[in-house]
Amino acid sequence: MVPSTPAAPTTALAVIPHGLPFSEEEWAALSPTEQQEAIAFFREETAVVNVKDLNRFEAGFVVDAEALRGEGLVKGACPGGIKLLGDGEVTRKLTVKVDRASKTAVAKVEAAGGTVEV
């Protein structure tokens, strides 16, 4: 059996996705496949950290991008920022400074007595 490849988009996007450097005319001139390729090319990668990973920090610690990189939880440049997700549990009171956080992650950090600064 031959592995299937994803089907090419059949309809063009009417609106330019936020942040892409195209005029309306340039965007309309692109085929649906070219539009998808442009979106993928300009996508900014976001680093993801789960609350269960925060348990390696001491209580009262301020967890920021530098601390996350120091522990190896975030590697390299993150042009899309760092997002905290709610997988697992956190058992320590921490101050977490990230670019984005899910509602579940914020609730779990606050339940442990900590705060999330976005």
Task: Quickly state the pLDDT bin for 21 (edges 50, 70, 90).
Answer: confident
For strands 95-97 and 115-117, give the pairing.
parallel
Round to whole Å and give the CA distance between 24 and 80: 24
What's the N-to-C CA distance of the chain in angstroms? 48
Residue pair 66/30 in contact (Cβ under 8 Å)? The answer is no
Q: Is 36 exposed, middle or buried (0-12, 13-18, 19+ CB in 10 A)?
A: middle
Q: Average pLDDT, stretch 79-107?
A: 95
Residue pair 86/104 in contact (Cβ under 8 Å)? The answer is yes
Q: What is 47-117's CATH topology?
A: Ribosomal Protein L15; Chain: K; domain 2 (3.100.10)
Residue-level pLDDT at 117 = 96
**9 or 39, greater pLDDT:** 39
Residue-level pLDDT at 43 = 82
- In which element (H, E) is residue 99 found? none
